[in-house]
Structure 1
Amino acid sequence: MQWLLTLAVVVIGILTVRPMGFSGWGLAVAALLVVNSVALLARHLPEHKVADRPALLWLTLGVVAAAALIGASRSGSGYLFAFFLAGHIGYRLETKPALALAGICSLLCGGVLYFGLGPGHDVLSWTLGLATGIPVLIGIVNRSQRRAVVAAIVAAESAERAARAEARTAVLTERGRIARDVHDVLAHSLAGINMQLELADALIDTGDLEKVREANNKAHGLVRESLKQAQWTVHALREDSLPLLESLAAMLESSGHRDVLTVTGTVRGVPPQVTQNLLRIAQESLTNAARHAPGGDLAAELDFAGSSMTLTIRNRPATRAVTAGIGSGMGLIGMRERVALLGGTVTAGPVTEGPDQGGWNVKAVIPG
């Protein structure tokens, strides 16, 4: 639309401005018309390609040429160049220089008509010349609106980038949580199953079928235990909240430890995220106890203090032979990551004194 308007002004000027020729006064008018046309067409140059000072110089020369064309022509619509240039002055320049240059445009055009400089045309009043600077206000309004739109676009793009970064962080956090859950279910159980199957495979060559059956039965037992852990993992990955006390008691009982949970303090509601992470910490502790201290007694305590909640799981030394195996080393790391996400702390290590000496103790403290 702007291009069409610009071309329309140029065409109208060519058709109406007189005199026009290749010599004398007609040549001067033709030259001024060309200068005005170039100045008007230049307003379509991208802003980032024209600095402020060159733009001010070009628009100043355009204003002078527009006033000169009004005075030099005897008839026509040469004054349209002044109106359109004044409007672009308000759009291209800052407010103060734009108003100053628009005022100069009004004074030049009004003065040319008022003092009758050049041939002029009597049908135009000097007040029309003074009015040529008024479109600068429209240009200023358009510039303000454009800047507001640009600022809104920049703000929207910034908000979108922030949202993408936040979403990526959330995805990475969720991936880390799922990785810990997968480890808790698979790392210990699959390592134990693989070890028993390798043992059974090695015993086949010896012909000792009793030991082969024993290794096979242990592998089946580990599979059943893995299925139980998988069920707990599925529950933990769901969004709905599990009841902490009931779930913890059921987990202990399914691991072969009945009535070993002690609850102290005033029981209160627990956020779903805290419940899920405490259950996963308990599951990791029970898995480690079953693997490294088979047959040993186990005790669990859940303490609701005023500003924190503490889960403690302690197992005594093994009463049966411990089968050597290689763990992934990620269990304790997963516990620490879970507790760190909740702003708490976890300690895990051997018991060095008391009736449980030689056992293992895990203690997780969660604020809130």
Structure 2
Amino acid sequence: MRYVLPVSGTDSTPPPEKTAVRGAGHRPVPGQDPRTQWALTLAVVVVGMLTIRPMGLSGQGLAVAALFVVNCAALLARGLPEHRVSRRVALVWLTLGIIAAAALIGVSSSGTSYLFAFFLAGHLGYRLDSRAALTLAGFCSLLCGGVLYFHLGPGHLVLPWVLGLASGTPVLVGIVNRSQRQAVKAALAAAESSERAARAEAQSAVLTERSRIARDVHDVLAHSLAGINMQLELADALLDTGDLDRVREANNKAHSLVKESLKQAQWTVHALREDSLPLLESLAAMVESSGHRDALTVTGTVRELPAQVTQNLLRIAQEALTNATRHAPGGEVGVELAFGASATALRIRNRPAPHKVTPSAGSGMGLIGMRERVALLGGSVTAGPITEGPDQGGWQVEAVIPA
């Protein structure tokens, strides 16, 4: 019997498994080129067809042809995706393929029939777990070596027997390829998990920024427009009384509120751009523009605060002063900014209105916005009526921020 020694490597190309990678569509896992696998498979088939003898339609040639077809089918089945072939089915298919390869070696007289055993053994290590793959590879080596021993006889050259015994060694290449594939899949899974976490973090940051912008827009538009609307309604009601002096006063107040709204809009733009505003100067201008001169008191050692703390303290002061103007117009207001060793406190107190008023309904978002702002900085805020002291019947807002 004459055999042609192999000139190509064993099965070192895993089956075409595709993994979804975001941003790049579906692509094969690195190291798994289906074109290379199909080229090697077709090469084995073509070389076997040209070299394996005898092959015909009767007698020994028919048996060789039938076993050749079975071996080709077993070899081509390596291209089936793993998720479509269960482990048990793969074990049966590869076992029958090994038996068919050994039978082809025993029936044929010459050629490269042993290549089928080599390539199937290489695929054992890739498709099955290591224990099953090594067991089946040992069975392949013993079966192919035994077939050659009994077919050729003990007095023949040793090389064919060694070739048969070595037919199971490509399983090691398959095991290495399987380990590499699992490592690549694990890396891809970790990358996708990291990408999902990054997307979730980015989405959370977007939602946080939207909430901040919503608070700023509420502070500027809701309160300013409410004050302007109140003055315009007063002016409209005074027109019927003919009191032009009070109409002009209400109109001037509305104009003043418009100017103040423009200034607040500029503050909002600065805040959105994360520009730092001077706390004391901005707070003093805000208190004065609300109509309360000399109402600001500063205690403790003045120090520069982080931009985010400054912005939120100014917004809280703006909210509290606007509410005082709406709910207690004409009432005295006191603003205290206290710099402590470990925290900065802002207190806004207003006395009751000197006359009965019917304030416009608010949106209810002001106090929520205050709490959100302070919570982001790890502080606390309290708001409620004053029940004792000279300001009894009024309202107090106090925000304490660690800084």
Fold-level similarity (TM above 0.5): yes
Match of 1:290 in 2: 325
Match of 2:255 in 1: 220
1:40 aligns with 2:75: yes
Aligned match of 2:168:
133
The aligned counterpart of 1:155 is 190
Specify the code of the residue in structure 1 equivalent to 2:181: R
Alignment partners' CA distance in 2, 1:184 and 1:351: 24
1:123-202 to 2 correspondences below 5 Å: 125-201=160-236
Moved more, 337-346 or 145-154: 337-346
Match of 1:77 in 2: 112
Asked whether the 8 Å contact 1:255–1:286 carries over to 2, the reply is yes
Gaps of 5+ in 2: 1-35
In structure 2, C-alpha distance between the alignment counterparts of 1:225 and 1:273, rounded to whole Å: 22
2:335 is aligned to 300
Partner Cα distance (2:158, 2:396) in 1: 104
Q: Answer yes or no: is the 8 Å Cα contact 1:296–1:319 preserved in 2.
A: yes
Among candidates 93, 117, 132, match of residue 128 of structure 2: 93
CA gap 1:190/1:104 in 2 versus in 1, 3 angstroms: same
How many Å separate the matches in 2 of 1:234 and 1:321? 37
Q: Secondary structure at the match of 1:104?
A: helix
Residues 303/359 of structure 1: CA separation in 2 closer, same or farther (3 Å cut) = same
Cα-to-partner distance string for 1:334-367 (whole Å, 9 max, x where unaligned):
1122122223221112222112222221011223
- Cα offsets for 1:278-305 (capped at 9, x unmatched): 1110111111222333343322222333
Counterpart contact for 2:102–2:143, Cα < 8 Å? yes
Higher mean C-alpha deviation, range 250-259 or range 161-170: 250-259
Alignment partners' CA distance in 2, 1:64 and 1:105: 8
Quote how far apart the aligned CAs of 1:73 are: 0.7
Q: How far did residue 201 of structure 1 move?
A: 4.2
Structure 1 residue 266 displacement after superposition: 4.5
**1:207 offset after TM fit, Å?**
5.4
Map of 1:20 onto structure 2 = 55
Contact 2:326 2:359 in 1 (8 A): no
What amino acid does structure 1 have at the position aligned with 2:163? L
| Cα distance in 2 between the residues matched to 1:72 and 1:122 | 18
Deviates more, 1:352-361 or 1:90-99: 352-361
Task: Tell me whether 57-66 or 232-241 shows the greater mean CA deviation.
Answer: 232-241
Match of 1:343 in 2: 378
The whole-number CA distance in structure 2 between the counterparts of 1:207 and 1:293 is 26
- List aligned pairs for 1:103-122, cutoff 5 A: 103-116=138-151
| Counterpart residue identity of residue 277, structure 1 | N
Q: In 2 relative to 1, CA 300–216 (structure 1 residues): closer, same or farther, beyond 3 Å?
A: closer
Contact 1:106 1:133 in 2 (8 A): yes
TM-score (norm 2): 0.84
1:366 aligns with 2:401: yes
| TM-score normalised by the chain length of structure 1 | 0.91
- Single out whichever of 284-293 and 66-75 deviates more from structure 2: 284-293
Q: 2:18 — aligned with what?
A: none
Match of 1:311 in 2: 346
In the alignment, the residues of structure 2 paired with residue 242 and residue 63 of structure 1 have an alpha-carbon distance, to the nearest angstrom, of: 80
Bigger shift: 196-205 or 153-162? 196-205
Residue type of the partner of 1:4? Answer: A
Distance in 2, Cα, partners of 1:45 & 1:28: 27
Task: Report what 2:311 is aligned to.
Answer: 276
C-alpha contact 1:70 1:78 (8 A) present in aligned 2:
yes
| Residues 65-113 of structure 1: per-residue CA shift (max 9 Å, x gap) | 1111111111111111011111111110111111111111111112222
C-alpha distance in 2 between matches for 1:72 and 1:326: 98
One-letter code aligned to 2:177: N
Percent of residue pairs identical: 79
Structure 1, residues 188-227: CA drift from partner, whole Å, max 9, x if none?
Answer: 2212222333444455566554444333222212212212
Once the two structures are TM-superposed, the CA of residue 41 in structure 1 deviates from its matched residue by 0.5
Partner of 1:102: 137
- The 8 Å contact of residues 20 and 26 in structure 1, kept in 2 or not, is answered as yes
Counterpart of 1:115 in 2: which secondary structure? helix
- RMSD across aligned C-alpha pairs, in angstroms? 2.4
Unaligned segments of structure 1, at least 5 residues = none
1:230 matched residue in structure 2: 265
**Per-residue deviation, residues 46-80 of structure 1 (Å, max 9, x unmatched):** 00011111101111111111111111111111111
What is the distance in 2 between the residues matched to 1:361 and 1:205? 37
Amino acid at match of 1:341: L
Report the 3-state secondary structure (helix = DSSP H, G, I; strand = E; otherwise coil) of the residue aligned with 1:353. Answer: coil
Q: Which amino acid aligns with 2:286?
A: M
Residues 215 and 289 of structure 1: is their aligned pair in 2 closer, same or farther, counting only changes over 3 Å? Answer: same
Shift of 1:251: 2.8
Separation in 2, partners of 1:112, 1:326: 97
